[in-house]
Amino acid sequence: MKQGIVAHVISPFPRGLHFCQVRRTSHTMDGFCLLYMLLILLMRSGDVETNPGPNTAVSTVSDMEFLRLAKDILPSYYDAVGISLGFSYPELQGILIQKLNNYPNAFLEVFMRWNVMQQPPHSNKRQLLADKLREIDLGDLSDRLLNESLNPNITGGPSRLTESPTKPPSAESQTKPLSPELVERCAKDFKFKYRSTVCKIRADPLNPASTVQFKDMYTNLFLQEEHGTNKRMLDYNDILDLKVNGEFPKRIMVQGEAGSGKTTFCAKIAWDWIEGRYFSHFVWVLIVPLREFKKHTIGEIAKSYLAKNNPATVSQMTEYIQSNPDKVFIAFDGLDEASGLIMKTKSGESQPSVTSSEACGSSSETGDIGLADILCSDELASCPVLVTTRPWRAVEIRSDGDLMKLYTFIHVEGFNRENLSVYIHKYFPQNDDKANQLIQFFSDNDVISENMAHYPIYVAMLCLMWKERDEQKLKEMKSLKTFSQIFKEMIAFLKEHYAQKEVKKVGSRSLRDYLKKIDELLGPIAKKAFNGLLENTLSFGEDDFQTCEEIESKNTACLVGILSQEDRINADMDTHERNSHVQLSVFFPHKLFQEYMAGFHLASLYESDRNEFNRLIEQVVLPGKEEFRYLLYFTVSQNTHIATYVLNSMLNCLNITRDLHFIVDVAFESQDPGVAALMKDRVSSSEESMLTIDIFMTAHTVAGYAFIGPHVVKLNIERDCGPTTSLDVAEMICSLPSLKIVYLEKAFHHCFFATLALKGKESKVSSSSTIVMYMYV
């Protein structure tokens, strides 16, 4: 009878595992003994496993692989992934709440817990996880997980090799530097790209075909530089004179609210470089809209801007930037439109957190440079980099002491009064009367002038409506006060404008039916808008609209003007290059339009799926209230039941003392009397309660308090009041039944005194302490 033994040997070569079967017979005992002794020596040397089991290099999953999966799986799969891995629905919701509704971090926690759960003996966790992913239609990620097991070192998995094969020369070391002629050719391609795309201003903010030359519509923005704890005015022409310890800063953070002109600010930089002004001493200026380039590296982005016949490669462009950092200026536009965190994992943490190297592009093995590495100054530290963002996203950098020291902070405040007038006259070059009427409209309504006139997006919208509306509609527009009213009016205008091209008869039943059909078609777009906000996706690919209904909805939204679709890549770029860098994008004209449509969808869930609506409000929107401020505005404006529910949730979930002004702003957007009554009952009613209206309180918030009519005993005015704020203050003085004492310290519009003269007898004020009172000019 033949007998045999099996030696399980780990090969020192990168070919993996080899099995050697040694057979023995009664005639070859001496040979067997020799082989047996050899086997014992191999085992003692550590090169043979006596009980091999599965190979841990290919059967386990590394933390980095879990991290990548956590980033790449869409939030809509969260419940399916967790349940397939053995978690209950309450457990999953608890993890999500614990992670502050950050889905990537919640996914990571689920994976980490699953990884330590009891599995069958000698189980292959990689195969188990891959099978689970495939069961819930995540086949691509399943395949990737299995393919990575063929070379675990790629993802940082444990290596069983005692020595590594010699590494081939890196792509970077093989890169031939760009010639001076090719460097200049790339610069010319960049300039052509910017002339044809970036440096175009829309006269109609919603119509891509309404673009005009940059110089015809551009109006200077009001800028401020942070100086210690204060701000000081900064002229655009002085930006390059900024100094930090005697040198131009290498990292600049430009903050601004939605629609304040941050993207136009980047376009101005590109324009001045093209025209040979200011930024002309830089050989290359790279303008990077982060909504389009979330998972790409700087070399890939630069390459995507080149003409098809430009032979420069990604690695050559990266090498030039690395070798000449003082000759390149990079502007990242819209950090708030990029997913993931910027800051890297701190040493000593028990598990990794999702970082922007996964979200915004990471350094690749070809030597290219990820966007997150640039933002953190881990790469290109001496290259000047500017990044724009909404204020809420800047907190991430400000909260890291080391990272904050690298940045100089600038604020884009939009238009001041002088800039506003210039812009409006540019919009109406042949009609000074129309321009002056609109300027007067802004002057007469300080809720509009303080909260919207600063922002070019609102000014452009109002200019468009002012141009197209008849006298009756213009009269109605003068009563608008809230962001929601402006957007509701704007969306209605767009739908009517489009519908009347198809149905000519104004006021007819056929026109009403057509408008109703448009509303139905916009439903899927509103859902896309909402899901995009949750995932921080502001730009969609054409393949995101796959069903016939979705395609029809997309096409209708583009025709109406709620969506835009255009090719932002050079027309002569071949198909392969285009697909490898940026898809043709479908996007909202501005994030505010996405937020408005998202509010429409969120409100619809109140009727169609009340439990999901409640969960989203209390577990997603309110915990991220600053990020979702405008979403809340637009949601509560839909109807009284929704507004009442949301305000009750805010009063129950938020800190009323700390967040009162925020809650009042949301209540004001509802314009609902029931909400006003609810707030009046919940706002302080103590005998000593005082409301102070100071320079930090916006006219929007003042109008909110006037709308609510709170129980206050003392009213203290410490800011100048324009027409509507003066009127709001006068109305409060005359109508608040609990008000006893008023302190007036600042200037008022004449309507303040007119209102007091008319209604002053109704006031309950028992004593007035007037310190200083001026007439508003």
Domain parsing of the chain, residue ranges: 3-45, 56-155, 180-412, 481-643, 683-775
The CA distance from 446 to 438, in Å, is 13
pLDDT digit string (tens) for 534-575?
887 777 877 788 888 888 998 898 888 888 765 443 333 343
The CA distance from 214 to 200, in Å, is 5
Q: How many CB atoms lie within 10 A of CB 747?
A: 18
3 has a pLDDT exceeding 50: no
User: Worst-scoring range by mean pLDDT, 118-127, 165-174, 451-460, 673-682?
Assistant: 165-174
Mean of pLDDT values over 646-663: 92
Any idea what the Cα angle at residue 287 is, between residues 282 and 293, rounded to 5°?
Answer: 140
Confidence band for 687, pLDDT divided at 50, 70 and 90: low
Torsion region of 192: left, alpha or beta (phi above 0 gives left; psi -120 to 50 gives alpha): alpha
Comparing 359 with 444, which gets the higher pLDDT? Answer: 444
- With a CB cutoff of 8 Å and minimum separation 6, the contacts of 176 are 316
Query: What does the DSSP assignment read for 412-440?
Result: E----HHHHHHHHHHHSTT-HHHHHHHHH
Mutual angle of helices 417-427 and 432-444, in 10-degree steps: 150
The CA distance from 104 to 339, in Å, is 10
Mutual angle of helices 180-193 and 314-323, in 10-degree steps: 100
Q: Name the residue type at position 608.
A: S
91: phi then psi, degrees, rounded to nearest 5: -60, -45
Confidence band for 767, pLDDT divided at 50, 70 and 90: low
Question: What CATH topology corresponds to 683-775?
Answer: 3.80.10
Q: Name the residue type at position 425.
A: H
Q: Which two tokens stand for residue 622?
A: 């309110």
Contact between 700 and 723 (Cβ < 8 Å): no
Q: Which two tokens stand for residue 454?
A: 């600063």
Beta bridge partners of 775: 748
Q: Which two tokens stand for residue 148?
A: 């990575």
- pLDDT, mean over the chain: 77
The CA distance from 308 to 577, in Å, is 9
Place of tokens 């386990």: 60
Most confident range (mean pLDDT) of 568-572, 606-610, 767-771 is 606-610
C-alpha dihedral sign at 5, 11, 15, 16: positive
Superfamily of domain 180-412: P-loop containing nucleotide triphosphate hydrolases (3.40.50.300)
Q: How many CB atoms lie within 10 A of CB 610?
A: 11
Place of tokens 């009046």: 680
Q: Which two tokens stand for residue 242?
A: 């900024």
Contact between 709 and 695 (Cβ < 8 Å): no
Residue 195 burial by Cβ neighbours in a 10 Å radius (0-12, 13-18, 19+): middle
Give the pLDDT confidence score for residue 223 in this predicted structure.
Answer: 84
Percent of the chain clearing pLDDT 90 (strictly above): 22
Contact between 259 and 413 (Cβ < 8 Å): no
Comparing 741 with 573, which gets the higher pLDDT? Answer: 741
**SS3 category, 232:** strand
Give the pLDDT confidence score for residue 206 in this predicted structure.
Answer: 56
Contact between 530 and 588 (Cβ < 8 Å): no
Total residue length of the chain: 777
Q: Which two tokens stand for residue 620?
A: 């997603």
The CA distance from 111 to 67, in Å, is 9
The CA distance from 526 to 518, in Å, is 12
Q: What is the dihedral of CA 619, 620, 626, 629, to 10 degrees?
A: -110
The CA distance from 570 to 579, in Å, is 13
Confidence band for 59, pLDDT divided at 50, 70 and 90: confident
Residue 584 burial by Cβ neighbours in a 10 Å radius (0-12, 13-18, 19+): middle
Place of tokens 């969609």: 540
Place of tokens 């969120």: 602
Contact between 291 and 334 (Cβ < 8 Å): yes
Confidence band for 51, pLDDT divided at 50, 70 and 90: very low
The CA distance from 577 to 558, in Å, is 26
Beta bridge partners of 407: 251
Contact between 269 and 287 (Cβ < 8 Å): yes
Q: Which two tokens stand for residue 575?
A: 């198909």
49 has a pLDDT exceeding 60: no
Residue in 387, 385, 446, 449 with CA at minimum distance from that of residue 412: 387
The CA distance from 519 to 505, in Å, is 19
Mean of pLDDT values over 79-104: 85
Distances (CA, A) of 108 to 49, 126, 164, 302, 444: 33, 15, 30, 33, 53
Any idea what the Cα angle at residue 260 is, between residues 660 and 233, rounded to 5°?
Answer: 95
pLDDT digit string (tens) for 400-441?
778 888 898 988 877 887 888 888 998 898 888 889 988 888
106: phi then psi, degrees, rounded to nearest 5: -70, -45
333: phi then psi, degrees, rounded to nearest 5: -105, 120
* H or E stretch covering 741: strand 741-744
Through-space distance between the first and last CA atoms of the chain, rounded to whole angstroms: 113
Contact between 7 and 20 (Cβ < 8 Å): yes
Give the pLDDT confidence score for residue 353 in this predicted structure.
Answer: 34
Mean of pLDDT values over 590-615: 92
Q: Does domain 56-155 match CATH 3.10.180.10?
A: no
Place of tokens 């003082």: 326
Residue 527: how many CA atoms within 13 Å on its side-chain side? Answer: 15
Place of tokens 């004593």: 767
The CA distance from 408 to 320, in Å, is 26
Percent of the chain clearing pLDDT 70 (strictly above): 78
pTM for the whole structure: 0.55
Residue 491 burial by Cβ neighbours in a 10 Å radius (0-12, 13-18, 19+): buried
607 has a pLDDT exceeding 60: yes
Confidence band for 247, pLDDT divided at 50, 70 and 90: confident
Number of alpha helices (DSSP H) and beta strands (DSSP E) in the chain = 36, 20
* H or E stretch covering 297: none
Q: Which two tokens stand for residue 304?
A: 């995507």
740: phi then psi, degrees, rounded to nearest 5: -120, -35
Confidence band for 597, pLDDT divided at 50, 70 and 90: very high
Q: Which two tokens stand for residue 653?
A: 């979930």
- With a CB cutoff of 8 Å and minimum separation 6, the contacts of 569 are 304, 578, 581, 582, 584
Comparing 201 with 770, which gets the higher pLDDT? Answer: 201
The CA distance from 63 to 349, in Å, is 13
The CA distance from 183 to 517, in Å, is 53
